Amino acid sequence: MHTAVAEESAATVDKVLVIGIDGAVLDRVKAANAPNLNGLMAQGLTARSTLYANPMAATSSGPGWSTIATGVWPDKHGVKDNSFTGKNYTAYPDFLTRIENAKPALNTYAAADWEPITSTDQNGPIFSAKVDKRLSLKGDRDGYGSEDPKIAAAAAAELRDQNPDAAFVYLGEIDHAGHTSGAASQEYLNAIGRVDTLVGRLLTAVQSRPTYAQENWKVLVTTDHGHTDGGGHGGSTIQERGTFVLARGAGIPAGSVRDDVRLVDVAATALAQVGVATAGIDGVPLNAPDNDPFDTLRPVLRARADETGIPAATKGFTHTPPAGWTVDNSRMGTGGVTEWAGWAFATDEFWSQSQRDQWRELNVRSRDVFAVADSDEWDDKSHTGTFDSTLVTPKWAVSGGSTKNLTFQTHYRHEAGQSAQVLVSYNGGTPAVVKTYTADAVAKAESLALQVPAGATDVQVRFRYSGNNNWYWTVDDVRLG
């Protein structure tokens, strides 16, 4: 009786390990002899994601690892390339430093053989000197093949024999193989296999801890960018922008797959795991999905119709709105590119490939499926009239005399001749403009205070975009709070 009570009251210690494998392509990991990484997918979550591109940042390691470590996008952490010019880690520190600031009694650890991650003598460190224990080795050129095993051995000893509460371990050989041989090569697969063995050592070290049975570990594996088949990254192709998050731990269903996870969520999940607040960062912990109604449309997404630059197998658009939403195309011209004839619902993988390097890749604060009005792409096929379409929300119940916050994620590129307006109506009355966009609003979290008039019982919001071969407007995660 007393023993059972003691067991029930024994505190579980929450811990987190983040493993960073540089330049890894998820489909090639799946194809490789990589039982540990593929085992993590079977035991937990697999989530593909995509990166930004220039001018927000290059698809290179400096911005990638900074985004993973800080939990914010490059427009906040300031790292646009491997020069680290403009870095703003003071305002947006890495997650281990946040843990140290909030709970200095917790033990933090970081190990890497790409010097800017942990070394003070390069452009970093991305993980600051506040981290309790850091290991930095030099793995450039051909060194990753010899330095990665040293990193893994030291980190495994730390994880097994010491008491880290939050750890980050970096391995670089896969990226080196991508540069030398290309992601489509056998050598790239071989490098994944070697790194997978090292990942296995880290996982074994955690499970070999004498106190493991009393601990609640969350393990995340992620990458900073992808690679082209021929080798290389830094540009805007979907191959270079491809990233992923794997996660295993309590509350994560085995074999689960999600489309709403972004790279910034790694830091948020690590912080939440050890009880540190995530306020002020872009990431969302994995146990707090956004429940956006647009995301319910993924099963009905279609492959391309008129677009030619999007791979034929990529399903990523629909004109069918979610339940309760409507699209008013009564002012819309006829013809044009089918995919963008009025407000559509699309994914980043689909929309950004319709035309690269026009800032569509910068829509980083949208997740999974979002709404998009794109007069530029619509105009690429003959049409009559102009683009003029309105996205209409359901009617939401409100109390007269109250203040409500309308929040949404938006990505708007402006050009003279187009119009983007947010309109609000109460009890079915005439819609009134509450916001007009007259300049770029790049990947922005919007919040509009609505003063509900006396006697109002419901509110309806409209997003009206008009243009003629101008730019575009996206909206996502619309909420009335």
* pLDDT at 103 > cutoff 90: yes
Range list of H helices, 274-374: 348-351
| Segments making up each domain of the chain, as ranges | 2-273, 293-480
Same fold, 2-273 and 293-480: no
**Rounded distance between C-alpha atoms, residue 304 and residue 378, angstroms:** 13
CATH class of 293-480: mainly beta
pLDDT of residue 4: 43
What percentage of residues in the chain have a pLDDT greater than 70?
97
Question: Which tokens is 86 given?
Answer: 């403009």
- The secondary structure of 367-379 as a DSSP string is -SEEEEEEHHHHT
The pLDDT tens digits of the residues spanning 385-417 come to 999 999 999 999 999 999 999 999 999 999 999
* pLDDT at 3 > cutoff 50: no
* pLDDT at 429 > cutoff 90: yes
Question: Contact at 8 Å (CB) between 345 and 370?
Answer: yes
pLDDT of residue 290: 73
pLDDT of residue 140: 67
pLDDT of residue 10: 57
* pLDDT at 139 > cutoff 90: no
pLDDT of residue 6: 39
Total residues belonging to the chain: 481
The pLDDT tens digits of the residues spanning 338-349 come to 999 999 999 999
pLDDT of residue 138: 85
pLDDT-derived band at 122 (thresholds 50, 70, 90) equals low
Question: Contact at 8 Å (CB) between 124 and 84?
Answer: yes
pLDDT of residue 31: 97
The pLDDT tens digits of the residues spanning 226-267 come to 999 999 999 999 999 999 999 999 999 999 999 999 999 999
Taking the domain 2-273, which CATH number applies? 3.40.720.10
SS3 state at 338:
helix
What is the average per-residue pLDDT within 172-182?
96
**Rounded distance between C-alpha atoms, residue 246 and residue 263, angstroms:** 11
pLDDT of residue 289: 73
What is the average per-residue pLDDT within 204-229?
97
DSSP structural state of residue 60:
S
Beta partners for 16?
Answer: 166, 218
The pLDDT tens digits of the residues spanning 28-65 come to 999 999 999 999 999 999 999 999 999 999 999 999 99
* pLDDT at 157 > cutoff 50: yes
The pTM (predicted TM-score) of the whole model is: 0.95
* pLDDT at 168 > cutoff 60: yes
